[in-house]
Amino acid sequence: MIDIHAHLCFPDFDDDRDRVVAECERGMTAVIVGSARYDEGLCALRLAGMHGKLFPSLGYHPTEGGGGHGRILDLIRKESAGIVGVGEVGLDHHWEKDPGRRKRQEGVFSDFIELASELRKPLIIHSWDAETRCFELVRDFGHDAVFHCFSGSAQLAEQIIARGFFISFSTQVLFSKSHRKLARVVPLGQLMLETDSPFLSPYGYLKAKGEEGRLRPGFDPKRNYPWNIGFSAAKIAEIKRVDVSQVLRETTDNARRVFRLP
């Protein structure tokens, strides 16, 4: 069980981060602590430094605007031996509608692509409503790339797969029909699991089915947690008509290989 994208440094976990991390250490193979801002990146480095199953990935959120990413590039360079990936980085056309600022996002994204290429680190890509453009920009990136929370078309997913990249499914696959359709298209060999914690909690979905009792007790159900990838794995297994153990084994192998985890 590897969650390749969890924001464990978000303030949502300030009150009980130790407990959440302890639970991850107990039940997970690994968790990649993603970040999208400078301070969050520092926290990810600190947290991963203290816990053997947590690994940091440093990035910059496209909605942060333009400037200010230089010091994150510097931090990635300085800490490159300890980080497992560059991200999340990418484009966001969902929240950003201004053409000039969208163009600036591309410049920033290109800086990160260049650095990831130089450092030979995998990219973790945020591509909300900009999936096609993200793909165009990374098409010739010579290393691994993972489209996190991918919400593009099945047709684009096929192109991403054909190019050898990976698609990561969040707990959205539980409650979104389009993500279930994507899960049918993406082969297990190029699929990963994530939660984007604390976002995308499966609580509403499970509650509607009267199954909220399946959530791990003692943790606020409105947040998401890395161990909830178990629910997504079961859903993907059902969609692909394979055993859940196979989904967990293959997604764990993929993440381990791409992020060079122990």
Count of C-beta atoms within a 10 Å radius of residue 116: 25
CB nearer to Zn ion: give 3 or 196: 196
Dihedral in degrees, nearest 10, Cα atoms 182, 146, 223, 128: -70
- Cα of 36 vs its chain's centroid, Å: 11
Tokens of 93: 């056309």
Give the x-and-dash track for 138-157 against Zn ion (CB under 5 A).
--------------------
Quote the least distance from Cβ 168 to Zn ion, whole Å.
Answer: 10
Give the SS3 label for residue 19.
helix
Question: Under rule CB under 5 A, which residues in 160-199 are in contact with Zn ion?
Answer: 196
Residue range at the interface with Zn ion (CB under 5 A); choices 8-16, 23-31, 86-94, 241-249: 86-94
CB nearer to Zn ion: give 12 or 88: 88
Q: Are the CB atoms for 198 and 223 separated by under 8 Å? A: yes
Pairwise CA distance, residues 56 & 42, whole Å:
9
CB nearer to Zn ion: give 144 or 196: 196
Tokens of 129: 């409503």
Quote the least distance from Cβ 40 to Zn ion, whole Å.
Answer: 10
What is the Cβ-side half-sphere exposure of residue 18, based on CA atoms within 13 angstroms? 1
Quote the least distance from Cβ 162 to Zn ion, whole Å.
Answer: 25
Q: What are phi and psi of 107, to 5 degrees?
A: -65, -45
Quote the least distance from Cβ 148 to Zn ion, whole Å.
Answer: 6
CB nearer to Zn ion: give 128 or 227: 128
Q: How many residues bind Zn ion (CB under 5 A)?
A: 2
Residue range at the interface with Zn ion (CB under 5 A); choices 20-28, 84-92, 215-223, 240-248: 84-92
Interaction site with Zn ion (CB under 5 A)? 88, 196
